[in-house]
Amino acid sequence: MLVPTHVMALARELFPRTVVMDDGQIVADGLTAEILEDEKLLEAHGLEKP
């Protein structure tokens, strides 16, 4: 299932795996919990830590 969202709290609650895309490119792919702890990654791609 593919669910596009910018709501990081929703992603954290519902999905064990996350793929982060920016400008049509995959910039991260892995465990949601790990991705959401990577503040540099989130900031670099316009996302906020939940």
Residue-level pLDDT at 49: 87
Nearest to 32 by CA among 48, 43, 18: 18
Domain parsing of the chain, residue ranges: 8-44
Residue-level pLDDT at 41: 97
Give every residue of the chain whose pLDDT is below 50, as ranges.
none
Nearest to 45 by CA among 13, 29, 23, 30: 23
Q: Give the pTM.
A: 0.83
